């Protein structure tokens, strides 16, 4: 074979191989939104039900957005809007459902008007504590029920924290018996508000940013918010005299991150995993934050501001427990989804109670004697 024929053959083989490489590259190209598209960027908005940069809740939303951006290497950037900056606090659900904002940070008992069952995902009076709530959500079927409930609204919910057991609230009158609750004007959302209404109180729902003014002006006689750390920051001790415990109405409330379903599905799997992991990390941090700051703030409220710390009388708590049973029975009878959620929570609580009695409860009683 001549040299010319040999060179021609080598050139032909090289061209064929290159053509095959091109074909192979074409075969491995990925569609937009897949995991192998590192250059795609997502610029999202998060609307919240909390005042801008408010300690504990507002800052948690900020931290979550920053954590997602850092973990994604900037592939997701999120602009956070405090309550009233883009939409009113009670418009978060609809705003994210419509896709006007991709994310929302709030708590589900605000959406009673959308679904009564939503309240149960936030908290239930005399219900699960923070550790129990997290266990139920992640290992007791709770998150699956939550997502089933929100699916018709085009929303994907994620647990986004927990405050731990809250306080019963701030009062401008003493509560010595159930009779003292009659005619009381109190800000209390969710199922706790319905229970107090059974006791004769007048309950209203107000966003956090309006509590101090309403309490100071006499528009309301009492309010619950969260606990010492946040209550001190709001200055509620300057508007009410008596600070009652325990927080029977919110023993383990879970704020939520809601994401528009279409926006969620536009993310590649690695970014979805980042959002989910970042939310879990922020949830852990929120509970640790409140657990660390509440004792310090309570000491400040009592020792420096002269707040009168009071325990709700046992007979008042017993009546509130009775009214809670009535409210839950009526709710579950008229709402099948609420019935499913409540049954799941109740079964989990009963199972957990047996263990808590000989673990955390028994230990704390022994430790703190």
Q: What's the pLDDT score for residue 21?
A: 40
Q: What's the pLDDT score for residue 34?
A: 46
Q: What's the pLDDT score for residue 56?
A: 87
The CA distance from 115 to 340, in Å, is: 14
Kindly tell me the sign of the dihedral angle through the C-alpha atoms of 203, 205, 208, 212: negative
Q: What's the pLDDT score for residue 369?
A: 82
Distances (CA, A) of 364 to 256, 304, 360, 368: 30, 28, 6, 6
Q: What's the pLDDT score for residue 331?
A: 98
Q: What's the pLDDT score for residue 208?
A: 79
Region of residue 302 (phi > 0: left; psi between -120 and 50: alpha; otherwise: beta): alpha
Q: pTM of the prediction? A: 0.86
Q: How many CB atoms lie within 10 A of CB 40?
A: 14
Q: What is the pLDDT of residues 184-226, one digit of tens each?
A: 999 998 999 999 999 999 998 888 788 899 999 999 999 999 9
The pair phi, psi for residue 131, each rounded to 5°, is -60, -40
Beta strand pairing status for 103-107 and 185-187? unpaired
Reported CATH class of domain 42-161+253-291: alpha beta
Say which residue the tokens 């998060």 belong to. 46
Say which residue the tokens 């405090």 belong to. 82
Q: pLDDT below 70 — which residues of the chain?
A: 1-38
The CA distance from 349 to 355, in Å, is: 10
Token readout for 123 is: 């908290």
């Amino acid at each position: 074979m001549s040299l010319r024929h040999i060179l021609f053959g080598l050139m032909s083989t090289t061209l064929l191989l290159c053509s095959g490489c091109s074909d192979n590259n074409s075969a491995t190209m990925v569609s937009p939104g897949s995991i192998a598209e590192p250059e795609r960027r997502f610029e999202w908005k998060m609307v919240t039900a909390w005042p801008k940069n408010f300690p504990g809740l507002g800052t948690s939303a900020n931290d979550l957005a920053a954590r997602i951006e850092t973990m994604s290497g900037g592939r997701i950037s999120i602009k956070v809007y405090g309550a009233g900056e883009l939409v009113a606090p009670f418009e978060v659900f609809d705003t994210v459902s419509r896709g006007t904002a991709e994310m929302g940070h709030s708590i589900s008992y605000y959406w009673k008007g959308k679904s009564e069952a939503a309240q149960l995902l936030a908290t239930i009076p005399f219900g699960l504590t923070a550790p129990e709530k997290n266990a139920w959500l992640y290992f007791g079927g709770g998150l699956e029920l939550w997502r089933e409930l929100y699916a018709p609204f085009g929303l994907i919910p994620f647990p986004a924290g927990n405050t731990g057991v809250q306080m019963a609230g701030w009062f401008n009158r003493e509560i010595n018996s159930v009779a003292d609750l009659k005619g009381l004007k109190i800000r209390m959302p969710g199922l706790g508000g319905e229970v107090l209404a059974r006791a004769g109180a007048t309950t209203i729902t107000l966003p956090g940013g309006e509590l101090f003014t309403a309490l100071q002006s006499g528009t309301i006689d009492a309010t619950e918010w969260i606990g010492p750390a946040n209550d001190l920051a709001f200055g509620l001790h300057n508007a009410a005299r008596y600070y009652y415990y325990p927080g029977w109405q919110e023993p383990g409330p879970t704020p939520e991150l809601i994401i528009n379903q279409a926006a969620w599905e536009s993310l590649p799997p690695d970014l979805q995993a980042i959002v989910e992991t970042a939310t879990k990390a922020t949830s852990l941090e929120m509970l640790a934050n409140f657990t660390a700051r509440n004792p310090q703030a309570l000491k400040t409220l009592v020792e420096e501001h002269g707040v009168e710390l009071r325990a709700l009388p046992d007979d008042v708590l017993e009546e509130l427990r009775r009214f809670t049973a009535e409210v839950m029975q009526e709710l579950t009878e008229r709402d099948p989804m609420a019935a499913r959620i409540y049954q799941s929570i109740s079964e989990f609580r009963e199972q957990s109670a047996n263990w808590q009695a000989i673990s955390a409860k028994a230990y704390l009683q022994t430790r703190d004697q």
